[in-house]
Amino acid sequence: MSSMLSAGAHNESNVEVHKYYGGTVIGAAFLALLFQAFLHKYGRWAELIDLPLLVTIYFGVSKRNPVSGMFLGALIGILQDALGHDGPIGMYGIAKTIIGYMASSVGAKIDTEHPASRFGLVFILFHLHQAILAVTERALLNRPARFFTPRLLLDSVITAAAGVLLFSLLDRLRRQS
């Protein structure tokens, strides 16, 4: 584990770390939460895409810093919990904290610029996110939660496809070095 991390740290120095204009990350996270809450008013189709998750993954991968990715995930998750009405605060917080950390860690090791790798990364992290949510619900809240359903598969594909498009848009917000 330690060798992996050290290897990762070694690789971090060889991978380009993207920088953004001030307020871009917070603004994008805020807009993602806003759209997620806002679009729910106009139909259930908005539930198919988890925009806060996509933003967490993108900036985690781009920053390539597990600590900042983790805190960004924690912030987005806790706000997402807070904007809900029926769940305790911390469910999405824990899940997105872990996802932000993992996305940053993975982004430091593999190429995440190619659309296919982005699609695969989002697809996997989406299911991991859902798995953490399900475990937390079962273990802490004693709620029945399904780990995998056909609907979840559809959601993951749609979210991954949307992630590819969203990431290309967010790439435009990068500060030119």
- Burial grade of 158 (CB within 10 A; 0-12, 13-18, 19 or more): middle
Minimum CB distance to other proteins, residue 153 (Å): 27
How far apart (Å, rounded) are the C-alpha atoms in residues 54 and 160? 8
The correct pick among 20, 24, 37, 145 for binding other proteins (CB under 8 A) is: 37
The correct pick among 101, 107, 156, 159 for binding other proteins (CB under 8 A) is: 101
The residue to which tokens 């807009």 are assigned: 31
- Burial grade of 45 (CB within 10 A; 0-12, 13-18, 19 or more): exposed
The verdict on 26 binding other proteins (CB under 8 A) reads no
Minimum CB distance to other proteins, residue 116 (Å): 28
- Which residues in this chain contact other proteins in the complex, by CB under 8 A? 2, 5, 30, 33-34, 37-38, 41, 66-67, 70-71, 74, 78-79, 82-83, 88-91, 93-94, 97-98, 101, 136, 140-141
